[in-house]
Structure 1
Amino acid sequence: MSAKLNRAVRCTAAVLAVIAVGAGATACDSSSGPSSSAKAGAHSDAAKDSTSDTAKDSTSDTQGGSREGAHKPGNGVKKTAAKGSRTDAVNVADTTAQESKRCHTGELRYSWGGPHGGAPDMEADYQQIASIRLTNSGGRTCTLRGFPGVRLISTSGAAWDLRRSSVKPSTITLHPGDDTAMVSMDILPLPSTMKGPKPFRVSEVLLTPPDETTHITLKWPYSGAILDQSGATRPGTFIDPIVIG
């Protein structure tokens, strides 16, 4: 009888220990809420510090998660560059035939302005679009497909090769005189009133059409600066594939 009682006591103690551990785990889980909030706040603060790659990546991930109202002030970035994406003009050619029809750098004319001639608001604290229109100035019909290579040159001479988004490209056909192709850069401005983050003041843009090896140089036509995330793997400033605009 005594042995049975002892076993019962040991069993009860074991059950209580399990319950205690479970309660501790629950307490840890519930305490993770404020901890997560603190981390989220830290990520927001990291947006103001562009000296650390980790801070930049955390900032991009946090801002990139904002979807609804992403273009409203204070709501962060709509999307970010794909992690580890290319920064050159190389794209996978579908066929040799399409390769031969490709628009070459010298066959195109380049001008700033979006589909409706709009310019980015460089004092905004949320993502903007800077667009370059491509016109077929040659005498033959040619095609564009994929991502261009885009290098930003700052007023101090620093270079920033833009990473690509995850948007899937499509083939655009340009007949002589057509101006329906558009290069779109998603940029994250740095308002002049925001102190602390490192600015990248763009002076020139070196643009290489898809699969070409020569570039053209365009003067940056807008004032202000963008947030310097040149070392980040998922920056808020990046390039989309060429689209119809």
Structure 2
Amino acid sequence: MQRTRNIALCVAAGALVSSVSAAVPAVAAPGSPACKNVALSWAGGTARPGGGSDQQETARVRVKNSGGSTCSLLGAPSVMLTTNGKPETLLQQPGGNTVNLAPGKTATFAITFLSDSGKNGNEIIRPDQAVVTLPGGTVKALTWRWGSVTRQEAASRPGNYVSPIA
């Protein structure tokens, strides 16, 4: 009985740590200035405008240093898909290496999501934008053009997530 209780406590603690780690924003690389002067743009992936494939899709985002000096990024950005101001926060994948961006240079990250046609009975959102908070705190928004997305915030294994910047 005690062993079963201990296992249950460990599982609950692991779930708590997983949910907390998803909410911790990435930070600027130590000793390097955060990227403040950047431009974001869509950069390919499997997602198609209008969406509705009922599959997991990937939309790549390009981060361009539009400032006059090198800056650094470390980790995955925070991304919220918003629908009339209501957010769906995507899980941040852990890890990543420091990316130093010289003026005019670019890096990318991927937004992976479950595209949804609305025919499957899933709870969906129809995002109008992706609000991106880069490591270091710079916030930018991109117009969402990939159609409806299956809501995943409460899923135990979310299919919507963001990769570290590379």
TM-score calculated relative to the size of structure 2: 0.78
Q: Distance in 1 between matches of 2:85 and 2:66?
A: 31
User: What does the per-residue CA deviation read over 1:124-178, in whole Å, with 9 as the maximum and x for residues that have no partner?
Assistant: 2321111211111010011111111111101x43211111224x20111111111
The reply to whether residue 198 of structure 1 matches residue 127 of structure 2 is no
User: What does the per-residue CA deviation read over 1:182-201, in whole Å, with 9 as the maximum and x for residues that have no partner?
Assistant: 12111111134x33111111
Match of 1:145 among 56, 70, 74: 74
Q: Distance in 1 between matches of 2:53 and 2:69?
A: 41
Write the letter of the residue equivalent to 2:43. Answer: G
Q: CA deviation at 1:119?
A: 5.1
The reply to whether residue 157 of structure 1 matches residue 89 of structure 2 is no
Kindly report the root-mean-square deviation, in angstroms, between the aligned alpha carbons of the 2 structures: 2.1
The reply to whether residue 170 of structure 1 matches residue 97 of structure 2 is yes
Q: CA deviation at 1:111?
A: 0.8
- Consecutive unaligned residues of structure 2, counting only runs of 5 or more, are 1-16
Q: CA deviation at 1:232?
A: 2.4
CA contact (8 A) 1:143 1:174 kept: yes
Q: Distance in 1 between matches of 2:121 and 2:92?
A: 27
Q: CA deviation at 1:94?
A: 5.9
Give 1:42's aligned residue. Answer: none
Q: Distance in 2 between matches of 1:209 and 1:198?
A: 28
Give 1:90's aligned residue. Answer: 26
> Structure 1 residues 88, 201: closer, same or farther in 2, change over 3 A?
farther
Write the letter of the residue equivalent to 2:113. Answer: I
Q: Distance in 2 between matches of 1:188 and 1:241?
A: 19
CA contact (8 A) 1:83 1:234 kept: no
SS in 2 for 1:86: helix
TM-score calculated relative to the size of structure 1: 0.54
Q: Any runs of at least 4 consecutive aligned residues in structure 1 with deviations exceeding 6 A, and if so which?
A: none
The reply to whether residue 186 of structure 1 matches residue 112 of structure 2 is yes
Bigger RCO of structures 1 and 2 (CA < 8 A, at least 6 apart)? 2
SS in 2 for 1:111: strand
Write the letter of the residue equivalent to 2:35. Answer: C
